Structure formats: structure tokens, C-alpha cells
Amino acid sequence: MALIPSQVLRVAILLSYLSILCNFKALDIPAHQTYGGSWKFLTFIDLVIQTVFFGICVLTDLSSLLTQGTDDREQQRQLRKLIFLRDWLMAVLAFPVGVMVVAMFWALYLYDRELVYPKILDSFIPPWINHGMHTTVLPFILIEMRTTHYHYPNRKSGQAAVSIFSTGYILWICWIHHITGMWVYPFLDHLSNILKAVVFVASLVVINVLYVVGEMLNSFIWDESRCIEEKVDSKNKMD
């Protein structure tokens, strides 16, 4: 039996994301005042994605509790819609985007933080907010995957959706550069046009790989769980 019910964990994670989101928006950061505001950063977009995702998870838990023991077909239909939306968000956005933000941020940060998170930001953004956006995202999403068996969409349609999202974001930062003459991420200033194209294509490949990793991890976790449960059931029957 879990020490903390999954429903309580989801509420706690949702509240932490809401706190980070509200505090981050309240910060007086110069970048918030420029074209695109916070929405030009994938980190902020991911923060919104994670908040919405865990909000849907909590709403699904509440709906499941309210419809428990009822035969109302309309309520059951609405619950199935929520579960479908929750599973889709996990597969297409929450896992691949969340893992990519954490991995790319810390890889670039360790190489040269000025390329992705200049030291001057330390005077604007408290460490707990930084880690809330760039670190805890990974354990939170892994905990959620471990507590709930997610049903992934057809791989082609899922990868098409994640590719559309990624392409849209790439076009968005290119548009911001077209308008302002500046790249959202400083490291892009050091690359030739060909290398920029390579980076953009590579990011599309990586996020599609992460989609498959999420799908495989979800299957592995729950296949293992089923095997353990079957062994326990068999042992109980023998006893």
C-alpha cells in the first residue's frame, strides 16, 4: 500500500506548480517586458503544460470519486473524456516536453550557463523557482507515470501531434527573431544558419524519441506491475 495516496500526491504537485507559476509571473524580469513575454521560453510553456496536466489529473480523480457507484451514462461519458484528455496530455506534451526541458537545460547549463541561463538571472529568479521549473519536473512526471497506467494514442498520431507542437515552437522563436533581431536562447547567436537548422531538426528528432521512451517506459512499468500482481495472486491462491 502506498504511503501517500496518489490523489493526495497529485493535489500537492498541482499546488506546487501553481505556486511556482504565480511567483514566476510576479517576478520583475526584463525579458517579461519584451516581445513574446514569458511565452517565448519553452520552460514557461512547459510549466503551464505541467500545471494544466496535473489540474486535469486532479479533476479526473474528483470526477471518478463523484461517479463511483452511479449508473449515470452521461457522467460516465464525461469521465471517459477526461481520462482520454489526461492520457493524451501525458503522452504528447507532459512527458516528452517536460523531460526535454530538464535534459536540455541542465546539459547546456553544465556546459556554459551563459548560453541558456545567464548568471544575472540569479538576482531575479530565486533558486527554488529555478529548480521548480527545471529540476522537479522530471521526478514529478515519473512519479505520476508510476502511479497511473496511461493509455497512449496510436504512435503515428501521437508523434504527429508532438511534431506539430515542436514545429510550432520553432516557428514561434524564429518569428520572434524576425521581429526583434534577437534569439530567445543566446547560444543560437553563435551558430551559422546551417547549424541552426541542424539544431532545430535534431530537437524534432529528440522530442519524438522521448515520446517513444515515454510510451515504452509506461508499458514497462505496468507490465512489470501486472507480473508482480499475478505472482502475488497465484501465491495467495496456493496458500
Q: Which pLDDT tens digit goes with each residue over 139-168?
A: 999 999 999 999 999 999 999 999 999 999
The neighbour count for residue 159, using CB atoms within 10 Å, is 20
Q: Between 56 and 120, where is the model more confident?
A: 56
Class of residue 179 by CB neighbours under 10 A (exposed 0-12, middle 13-18, buried 19+): exposed
pLDDT of residue 1: 40
pLDDT of residue 238: 43
Confirm if 41 and 184 have CB atoms less than 8 A apart: yes
pLDDT of residue 6: 85
pLDDT of residue 31: 79
pLDDT of residue 231: 46
Percent of the chain past pLDDT 90, that is, above it, reads: 66
pLDDT of residue 29: 84
User: Which pTM was predicted?
Assistant: 0.89
Can you give the chain as a three-state secondary structure string? Answer: CCCCCHHHHHHHHHHHHHHHHHHHHHCCCHHHHCCCHHHHCHHHHHHHHHHHHHHHHHHHHHHHHHHCCCCCHHHHHHHHHHHHHHHHHHHHHHHHHHHHHHHHHHHHHHHHHHHCCCHHHHHCCCHHHHHHHHCCHHHHHHHHHHHCCCCCCCHHHHHHHHHHHHHHHHHHHHHHHHHHCCCCCHHHHHCCHHHHHHHHHHHHHHHHHHHHHHHHHHHHHHHHHHHHHHHHHHHHHHC
Those residues with Cβ within 8 angstroms of residue 133's Cβ, 6 or more apart along the chain or in another chain: 20, 24, 43, 44, 46, 47, 101
Q: Is the dihedral of CA 200, 205, 210, 211 positive or negative?
A: positive
- Alpha carbon distances (Å) from 199 to 66, 188, 203: 47, 9, 6
Q: What mean pLDDT is predicted for residues 95-123?
A: 91
* 53-67 pLDDT tens trace: 999 999 999 988 877
- pLDDT at residue 136 above 90? yes
pLDDT of residue 130: 93
- pLDDT at residue 195 above 80? yes
* 10-52 pLDDT tens trace: 999 999 999 999 999 888 888 788 899 999 999 999 999 999 9
pLDDT of residue 65: 84
pLDDT of residue 74: 78
Give the model's confidence band at 194: pLDDT under 50 very low, under 70 low, under 90 confident, else very high: very high
Q: Between 67 and 211, where is the model more confident?
A: 211
The neighbour count for residue 237, using CB atoms within 10 Å, is 7
Q: Between 214 and 117, where is the model more confident?
A: 214
